[in-house]
Chains A and B, each alone.
Chain A
Amino acid sequence: MSTERTRRGRLPRSRRFLLVSLLAGASLTVAAAGDPGGPQGGGYQDGRTAGVTLENSSIRLSGNGLGGSADGYRVPRPCWYEPGKSAEEMLQSQESVRAMWFHTNPGATEEQYEEFLKQYKDKVGQPGKWWSPAYNSADPGGMSCWAGLEGALWVPQGTTPPGGITAEELLQIARAALTVPEPTIHLNPDAKSYVNLPTWVWLDGIGATTRSVTATLPGVMSATVTATLNRTEVGSEPGAPLAETRNACGTTGKRDQSGGFTCGVKYLHSSADPSMGGKAYRLTVTTVWDVTGASTGGVVGLAFAPVEVTVERGVTVGEVQSTVRR
């Protein structure tokens, strides 16, 4: 038994109402009160560059890796089909929007309506589900990708249609939703450093050094992506020969380096030095998070490129003035 579709696009008018019920449930309410006119449709999400905002999806996201700033990771394909209603549920939902169907198909006959319903009635009693399209609206290509999919597909039990969500895609969605915190740089000395004086570096605000996101398609599968803070790297601009960096920083730098300078920068020239052009040094701190992921039962596992978060601040370096008296 193969997958069958209820097509969108140029169809018999009797088939053109599918997603009204999929998206709006059984609501037949017509807005008759209040002002007419104005913009159409729901709110448009601005700033769509990456991250995950699921539309028409039953996928649930959870975990302590949610809520930060997206790092720009994009899933390979921002739309997919998901299993949805049973044959009986779909028929009921389509029958429940009968009035709206006739509103949006002016001049249609009862016979045409019955023809429209037939595709749903035919599936009643068969094992399987109607799969419907979903998308990531945080992806700039999500909406057009979604629009290119069919309104719904009948999928026999135990099979996945072309374009149907896979464990790997669920993992990709979890990865796109994963965020890690932006650290706060701490220095010692803080306000100003001095030539040949080691400037210690450590971070605050990291919180948990393991962050995860789980994407769950209820009753079907789940996938978890975990980011683990591996190390912190310090950099200086300009670097050698004007500055020396120490990068044995561990995961979050070193607050106390009285036993030995291992994490930070030793500036060898004043920032007032003509070679600096009158500018402060730019100290950068990068946290590197290793990212791995696996689906339920380890069916699919993926290693992702590390997530790197870089923050920076300017450092003014002065010279220690000494007066030698004889």
Chain B
Amino acid sequence: MVSVCAVLTACGGSPQEREFTPAGAVAGQPSSGAGTAKPPVAETVAAGPGLKVETEWPTGLNASHTAIVKAFTDYYAGRWRAVGSLGKDKSYLGGVEDAAARDAYKWVRGFVAGKWSARGVAKLYALRVASVDGHGAQIDACVDESGVRVTDRSGTPVSAQPAWTKPPRSTYFQVAAVRQGDDGTWRIMLFRHASYPDERAKECVR
């Protein structure tokens, strides 16, 4: 189930030299103007019982950049579906390769092996195609997982919630390297991140 609504809030500015635009933009692609820029569009996807992923889509993406961003958003929703389905949904593995496949598997495995699940809302925003080089690209994103609670399999929150569910560490900067395969599909090859107190993570805080 997908619902779409406009998001009226936007992030503050960021250092110009890095072209980082938390409100969501594409590097090197000027928006239609600061005064007339359209707000990102939020898309909410169910990822399991009581678990949702909310993605703020930047506006003004061309088809190529849309496909690049979608590679990341699909994966991000897919990994939470894997958690919400207690590991049964493995579709997230279709969007990752190489080192990213290992990281993704281990990430989901961390929940499944501990007999944990999750409830709440995970938010993805400030999505940006940082650079494109032939069949390779880098995506930057902000993640807010303060609305997620780790639960047992029945959905009851565990008493000792991980640090990443609580501010300030619940908001972080996520980077993904993606590659376009011979079939034209973009898949994630590598993950990198910056957590609080890194400046990149602080810039993601709203």
Contact = CB atoms under 8 A, between A and B. Distances in A.
Contacts of A40: 103-104, 107, 174, 191, 193
Nearest to A19: B98
Interface stretch (B37-45, B54-62, B179-187): B179-187
A192 B203 CA distance: 43
Interface string A30-59: 111011111111111110010000000000
A135 to B, nearest CB: 9
A200 to B, nearest CB: 37
Contacts of A39: 143, 164, 172, 174, 193, 195
A19 B179 contact: no
Given A7-B182, A39-B172, A143 B106 contact: no
B193 A49 contact: no
A116 B185 CA distance: 21
A42 B198 CA distance: 13
A106 B113 CA distance: 17
B35 to A, nearest CB: 28
Contacts, number: 182
Contacts of A46: 194, 198-200
Given A44-B193, A104-B105, A147-B136, A16 B131 contact: no
Contacts of A18: 98
A104 B133 CA distance: 27
Nearest to B176: A41
A262 B184 CA distance: 66
Contacts of B180: 9
Contacts of A105: 93
A31 B109 contact: yes
B191 A148 contact: no
Q: Which 10 A-B pairs have the closest CB atoms?
A: A9-B181, A41-B191, A148-B136, A10-B181, A147-B136, A10-B183, A19-B98, A36-B110, A35-B162, A39-B193
Given A31-B109, A44-B194, 18 more contacts: A10-B184, A19-B99, A19-B189, A30-B106, A31-B106, A35-B110, A35-B164, A39-B143, A40-B104, A40-B107, A46-B199, A49-B17, A100-B105, A103-B105, A104-B104, A140-B130, A140-B131, A147-B135
Interface of B: 17, 83, 90, 93, 96-107, 109-111, 113-114, 116, 118, 130-138, 143, 145, 148, 150, 162-165, 172-185, 187, 189-195, 198-200
29 contacts: A8-B189, A9-B97, A9-B185, A9-B187, A10-B182, A10-B187, A17-B98, A23-B99, A31-B106, A36-B107, A36-B114, A37-B110, A39-B164, A40-B191, A41-B100, A41-B174, A41-B176, A41-B191, A43-B194, A44-B175, A49-B17, A100-B102, A100-B105, A104-B105, A141-B131, A143-B136, A144-B131, A144-B137, A147-B177
